[in-house]
Structure 1
């Protein structure tokens, strides 16, 4: 296997060196060049033909955020955005994901350089397998299913996603009505970016989209995202299930972990509809298998619509997922499985 060729673009020489040093430590990756701005990046892309680009969001002159759409038009390639984890920086990174970037990572804060970009090699490897042709055109208005009358049947939706997941989640949330079933989502992403993602989705679409908090009852019309950081998101089963934030080690290399969320719901599996979306690795596949065996309805995003068909592939192959569904149909499938009346006839 040939090493993955990476071009590092950042106006800070310190950041370029930190990123390059971290990537060069992985034998599967070759840093083929560095660029300090968009103009240098254009030349380097032409001469070096990288497989993956790391791109600074906040560069002087043409910012990474402005350069990204141009790149997607002229030379599409997997891009990982590198941003400060300030409120402004994380909002820009989420904007970049909607413009074509595959992943985003945070810059180290003061005194954190020793462990800087620890997850970046894995993200580069995941990004290198991404198929940009599968990026979904996200509707700017609610879909037909989101506009239909919806009567909830008391079932709860759990969703897990990783690389390419922001695109996929936005497509699903756009298809949800204001009174959608309660939804819990675990997306692999740094905590500050998750906060910005929740704010963006809440502003754009009908449901109430928030970061999950500990010991809060789940309610119709509210979609809760795992806040990440030091905590996993889980469910506390009961007549009125509540959210739980669990401070513990990473599971399957992730915190938040999809397996933690899915496994927590096993005691109430008959009330669960679970979906696993695009992403590299195996997180969530074993938890989905346990849920299905306990009586939950379980689906996975199909290969044709997945930017990275890793997590859903494993869930399908191990028997955790009972059906593969294209991304554009997942919202409708989830609504059908959680609805009373005519809509429920469209079962998984």
Structure 2
């Protein structure tokens, strides 16, 4: 949460909105203004107006569109990051064709990407509101250019857990399943949120093409996950793709859950595939790390490794604990290397992580686990 002022009230996170559409500026202002922890500092129709606003007052967070008049958002982002870094959330309606530009924005220093609010139905507006407000808080509390800010706690209405997608096993059934679980090829499961795109790039770039199958949930809007997968596929040794229902999890392949859908691990004999399913938000997210981790605990158990990386909130903490209880090897990213130490912190506090490591040690931890697991098979 923001620091308390001397009067005892919380200091609100001040947001600058940069978008050429008056209706989008108004909708975003209404959404952000409805959250007690947020307020709109100013709005701007183009980067030049935004610069004048920033000269008057530096915002805590800037929501920035990519397609803008007089100067495109990506160019403006790069200028801001080189001259006066500000936590930036890209808010865009770009479809598949423009999603590569959004990946460039993340690489240029943007903290997160959200789609412009949908107001066609009450449900979509509610989902947009939740995602936008969460992104603003995460960005404001992100570790930025070496400055550490503690992750806020989300004080919200009751939220659904993984039970909404996958029924939990009873203790007796879980114990029986662990005893009967056959030894298979190892599976690596990774969950991440704010700051995760660059964290995943660092981890995956360091892994050899022979690495066992990896499944990933990265909180990201639909369509953008495909661009993210394609971008990673071009720089990593492993094959990386957006997961499709029925895809086989196999050595040398990384499957990234598609935005707005849940991904579950499924086992048939010694073979693993993924199921891509619809369903409600779990732990405030779709796809949810908790859903993926629970499915891995039930399908793979001792044959799996679970890793939770940077992100706000607690998605994945409960699921990682279930993985550890099922015999999986579990790892959490440490505070120092996390952009937002929310998800890893929750997992560590629950006793879900067998080991806590810096981001630059995660790939080595995977390689060590794989050698041990493959040695046990032989």
Match of 1:295 in 2: 327
* Cα-to-partner distance string for 1:187-217 (whole Å, 9 max, x where unaligned): 1111111111011111222111001111222
**Matches of residues 191-230 of structure 1 in structure 2 within 5 Å?**
191-229=222-260
1:266 lines up with 2:275 in the alignment: no
1:337 lines up with 2:369 in the alignment: yes
Match of 1:26 in 2: 35
Match of 1:155 in 2: 186
1:75 lines up with 2:84 in the alignment: yes
Query: Hey, what's the Cα distance between the residues in 1 that align with 2:76 and 2:133?
Result: 23
Compute the TM-score of the two structures, normalised by the length of structure 2.
0.82
- Cα distance change of structure 1 residues 110 and 23 upon mapping to structure 2, 3 Å threshold: closer
Which moved further from structure 2: 273-282 or 243-252?
243-252
Match of 1:182 in 2: 213
Asked whether the 8 Å contact 2:264–2:292 carries over to 1, the reply is yes
1:109, distance to aligned residue in structure 2 (A): 6.4
SS in 2 for 1:21: helix
1:112, distance to aligned residue in structure 2 (A): 6.0
| Runs of 5+ unmatched residues, structure 2 | 1-9, 148-183
SS in 2 for 1:237: strand
1:85, distance to aligned residue in structure 2 (A): 3.5
Which moved further from structure 2: 280-289 or 215-224?
215-224
RMSD value over aligned CA atoms? 2.1
Query: Hey, what's the Cα distance between the residues in 1 that align with 2:294 and 2:223?
Result: 25
Asked whether the 8 Å contact 1:8–1:33 carries over to 2, the reply is yes
1:77, distance to aligned residue in structure 2 (A): 1.7
Match of 2:354 in 1: 322
Query: Hey, what's the Cα distance between the residues in 1 that align with 2:23 and 2:277?
Result: 35
SS in 2 for 1:251: coil
Compute the TM-score of the two structures, normalised by the length of structure 1.
0.89
* Cα-to-partner distance string for 1:102-126 (whole Å, 9 max, x where unaligned): 1111125694697283221111011
Match of 1:278 in 2: 310
The count of aligned residue pairs is 326
1:131 to 143, 146, 152: 143
Query: Hey, what's the Cα distance between the residues in 2 that align with 1:130 and 1:198?
Result: 24
Match of 2:278 in 1: 247
Query: Hey, what's the Cα distance between the residues in 2 that align with 1:32 and 1:108?
Result: 19
1:173, distance to aligned residue in structure 2 (A): 1.2
SS in 1 for 2:68: coil
Query: Hey, what's the Cα distance between the residues in 2 that align with 1:250 and 1:340?
Result: 36
Query: Hey, what's the Cα distance between the residues in 1 that align with 2:311 and 2:209?
Result: 27
1:234 to 264, 267, 272: 264
Query: Hey, what's the Cα distance between the residues in 2 that align with 1:110 and 1:92?
Result: 25
- Cα distance change of structure 1 residues 178 and 134 upon mapping to structure 2, 3 Å threshold: farther
Match of 1:84 in 2: 93
1:90, distance to aligned residue in structure 2 (A): 2.0
Query: Hey, what's the Cα distance between the residues in 2 that align with 1:204 and 1:335?
Result: 19
SS in 2 for 1:241: strand
Query: Hey, what's the Cα distance between the residues in 2 that align with 1:30 and 1:261?
Result: 34
* Cα-to-partner distance string for 1:227-275 (whole Å, 9 max, x where unaligned): 132x210111231111111222111111100010000112321111110
SS in 1 for 2:135: helix
Asked whether the 8 Å contact 2:27–2:117 carries over to 1, the reply is no
Asked whether the 8 Å contact 2:119–2:125 carries over to 1, the reply is no
Query: Hey, what's the Cα distance between the residues in 1 that align with 2:125 and 2:315?
Result: 23
Query: Hey, what's the Cα distance between the residues in 1 that align with 2:66 and 2:370?
Result: 40
Asked whether the 8 Å contact 1:83–1:90 carries over to 2, the reply is no
Match of 1:141 in 2: none
